[in-house]
Amino acid sequence: MASAINYVHAYRSVLREVTKSSKVAQAARDKSITSSLRTIIAKQRADPKEIELFNHDIQNVVTFMRAQREHKKLIDRYNPLFDLTAEERIVATTRRVGLNMPKLYDASAPGPDPTAKEPEPKE
């Protein structure tokens, strides 16, 4: 009975971490993940020799998933420029120090700047 509770606890803890770390809503999530987890745990129920090793491995998986989720949260909080492109990162950095970026040259549309003033003719 105690081993059955351990399997249920292991399954639920892994499933909980999958749910927390998923970017997709639960209704849109692929059902093969939960069925694969159930299959893995059901196979381990049949092999009583490796119960202790399996419980240890499942706890390692849960710890790893929790650490990955926490790492992602900390990266997002303390390094907001992490997922920006190079140009977006430059603009954000200049704004952070109180400056504005000048308009960058666009090679796909060369020519004079339409906002520039034309020189006045000399008499």
Say whether pLDDT at 15 is over 80.
yes
pLDDT digits (tens, 9 = 90+) for 20-46: 887 777 777 778 878 888 888 778 776
Closest residue by Cα to residue 69 from 18, 6, 122 = 18
pLDDT of residue 115: 66
Residue 1: pLDDT band with limits 50, 70, 90:
very low
Q: How far is CA 8 from CA 12, 14, 15, 65, 120, in A?
A: 6, 10, 10, 18, 82
Q: How far apart are CA 92 and CA 77, in angstroms?
A: 15
pLDDT digits (tens, 9 = 90+) for 65-122: 999 999 999 988 888 777 888 888 888 888 889 988 887 777 787 766 666 666 677 7
For 17, residues 6+ apart whose C-beta sits below 8 A from its C-beta are 62, 65, 66, 69
Percentage of residues of the chain with pLDDT beyond 90: 10
Average pLDDT in the 5-32 region? 80
pLDDT digits (tens, 9 = 90+) for 43-63: 877 667 777 888 888 889 999
Say whether pLDDT at 2 is over 60.
no
Q: How far apart are CA 62 and CA 79, in angstroms?
A: 25
